């Protein structure tokens, strides 16, 4: 993994600012204390390129921001969905097989 970080301080918004090495995580990525509790999601990346910080906000319920300062963090693995939903609005069959008509003539109108 190309990301490693440490909680630097609490932000003025009640989130956490994390100093990191490597590439910044994607916006919305879940960040957790290494091997432990999820802190929250990446809200933004702030500061100059050579010393940028990620802002985690809002924090998940039960997270004490002050107690988290100094903790090593990592990107939490993505959750696996419990079931797969079909892609698109319909599940199988062609548009015409479902009786679809986009407001024009139907192939049955011939």
Residue 110 in any domain: the answer is no
CA distances from 85 to 14, 77, 92, 94, 101 (A): 36, 21, 12, 18, 25
Residues spanned by the domain of 52: 3-63+71-75
Q: How many domains does the chain have?
A: 1
Residue range 50-107, pLDDT digits in tens: 999 999 999 999 999 999 999 999 999 887 777 666 666 655 666 566 666 666 665 5
Assigned domain for 57 exists = yes
CATH of the domain at 26: 2.40.10.230
42-63 pLDDT, tens digit per residue, is 999 999 999 999 999 999 999 9
Question: Which ranges in the chain belong to alpha helices (H)?
Answer: 65-68
Q: Is the pTM of this model over 0.95?
A: no
* Distance (Å, whole) CA 6 – CA 32: 10
Any domain includes 101: no
Segment holding 43, helix H or strand E: strand 38-46
CA distance 56 to 17: 6
The answer to whether residue 109 is domain-embedded is no
């Amino acid at each position: 993994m190309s990301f490693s970080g440490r909680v630097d301080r609490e932000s003025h918004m009640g989130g956490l600012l994390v100093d990191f090495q490597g590439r910044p995580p994607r916006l919305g990525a879940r960040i957790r204390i290494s091997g432990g509790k999820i802190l929250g999601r990446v809200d933004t990346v702030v500061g100059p390129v050579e010393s940028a910080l990620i802002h985690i906000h809002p924090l998940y319920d039960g997270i004490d921001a002050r107690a988290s300062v100094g903790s090593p963090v990592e990107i939490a693995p993505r959750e696996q969905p419990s079931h797969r939903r079909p892609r698109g609005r319909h599940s199988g069959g062609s548009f015409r097989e479902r009786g679809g008509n986009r407001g024009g003539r139907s192939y049955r109108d011939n």
